[in-house]
Amino acid sequence: MGHHSCCNQQKVKRGLWSPEEDEKLIRYITNHGYGCWSEVPEKAGLQRCGKSCRLRWINYLRPDIRRGRFTPEEEKLIISLHGAVGNRWAHIASHLPGRTDNEIKNYWNSWIKKKIRKPTNTIAKSNQTSQFTYTQNHQFDHFLNQDLPTKSQLQDNTLFSLPNPSFIFDIGSNVQPTSTTSHSRIDQIFQDNSQTWLLNQHQGQAQPPEMVSYSSHSMNSNPLTPLMDNLDNIMVPIEGINVGGGHDQISAVDCLQRNDQINEWVDTQNCSSSYFFWDQEEGQLGGDEIIPSSSNMGTLMSSFPSSL
DNA sequence: AAAAAATTCAACCGCGAATTG
DNA sequence: GCAATTCGCGGTTGAATTTTT
């Protein structure tokens, strides 16, 4: 037969597509449609293999492609579909108009990575020790326990502002499930003069918040547990403070969107969101996490109650 | 300010399935 | 029916970019 099908000829270009190449491919496909990808490069005047053209068209150039951030609805769909069918990306993508298997796969892989991320050694980094006196911060407790709207007082999907915006929560993955006595456990929040501290009794250490994370597991024995009691109450998302995770920067978490199953925190500035829920069986919080980066920590901390 | 580390994600690879001739 | 070719999928890579130190 005439030419070879794929990418070993020395003329064949690889790597990122240039705008000119895109142009050629788009022009060819819009004029001729596609049937046999292996003859596309030749006819379109491209130094690519047919496979590469196909991929470029399907994942990037075709007109009905959807780009940009996944919507919360899409995220939920991906999560539930993945739960049902596993890594069948093409199948999952077929339920999300305009999205490609590749994109969903990429999304999932970074999602997973985040979940499996090793417990950070945030505590170890701290050189602060606990040689000082402190008082339990009752003001803080009171703030956390204040009345908030209950489920029945809200319409579904109502958006409302929290009394104090810009909370940070970090559920789960920073603490190993088994290690309730882990070094990451936070037992108390308190302040010393104007400094806020998180105390880990196990190690007898206290750190400023930016060095520490709470987790749902650490909630078992810490004073914030009662806040998470049931789904009839809108819960204050004091789950954690964690810096250094990376890519989930948030500028502000200032709204709570409610639906039947999920409490969803919406970062209105970044148009991202995250979820948490109370897992009755596990007796702990589950869900996604949001981790601010150190670059916006100042902002986030400054929105804490002034008493802290 | 600069270097290092982490992340992203478009593109690649090989494989099994489907199609072609 | 068969072998060659093409298609479609999912795992993986690595350069560009972002974030952290």
Q: Residue A226: is it exposed, middle or buried by C-beta count within 10 angstroms (0-12/13-18/19+)? A: exposed
> Structure pTM?
0.49
Q: What residues approach strand B to within 7 A at the CB?
A: A 7, 14-17, 51-52, 55-56, 59-60, 102-103, 105-107, 109-110, 113, 117, 245-247
pLDDT of residue A91: 95
Class of domain A68-116: mainly alpha
| Cα A83 to Cα A67: distance, rounded to the nearest angstrom | 24
Most confident of A45-54, A68-77, A139-148: A45-54
Residue nearest to nucleotide B10 (CA to C1'): A16
Instruction: Name which of A14-28, A85-99, A240-254 the model is least confident about.
Output: A240-254
- H/E element, A121: none
Q: In the complex, which nucleotide's C1' lies nearest to the CA atom of residue A107? A: B9
Distance A286 CA to B9 C1' (A): 28
Neighbours of A33 (CB within 10 A): 7
Strand B nucleotides within a 7 Å radius of protein CB atoms: 6-14
Could you name the CATH architecture of A10-63? Orthogonal Bundle (1.10)
Higher-confidence position of A152 and A130: A152
Mean predicted lDDT score pLDDT of chain A:
51
pLDDT above 80 for A42: yes
pLDDT of residue A77: 87
Cα torsion at A106, A76, A113, A103 (round to 10°)? 0
Higher-confidence position of A72 and A251: A72
> Which residues are CB-contacts of A240 (< 8 A; sequence separation ≥ 6)?
A168, A169, A170, A171, A174, A213, A214, A215, A289
Distance A26 CA to B12 C1' (A): 21
DSSP-derived 3-state class of residue A286: strand
User: Which of A222, A219, A223, A194 has its CA nearest to residue A208?
Assistant: A194
pLDDT above 50 for A13: yes
Tens of pLDDT, residues A177-226: 222 233 333 444 443 344 444 444 334 444 444 333 333 222 222 222 22
Distance A38 CA to C5 C1' (A): 10
Backbone phi, psi, residue A220, to 5°: -50, -40
Q: Domain-by-domain residue ranges, chain A?
A: 10-63, 68-116
Beta bridge partners of A195: A192
> Which residues are CB-contacts of A271 (< 8 A; sequence separation ≥ 6)?
A69
Residue nearest to nucleotide B20 (CA to C1'): A36
The answer to whether the beta carbons of residues A293 and A170 sit under 8 Å apart is no
Residue nearest to nucleotide C20 (CA to C1'): A244
Instruction: Name which of A93-97, A102-106, A199-203 the model is least confident about.
Output: A199-203
pLDDT above 80 for A115: no
Say if A10-63 and A68-116 have the same CATH topology.
yes
Backbone phi, psi, residue A277, to 5°: -155, 160
Q: In the complex, which nucleotide's C1' lies nearest to the CA atom of residue A114? A: B7
DSSP A10-67: TT---SSPPHHHHHHHHHHHHHH--S-GGGHHHHHT-SS-HHHHHHHIIIIISTT---
CA-to-CA dists, residue A135 to A9, A76, A190, A199, A297, angstroms: 74, 42, 6, 12, 24
pLDDT band at residue A81, thresholds of 50, 70 and 90? Answer: confident
Higher-confidence position of A258 and A55: A55
Distance A111 CA to B1 C1' (A): 33
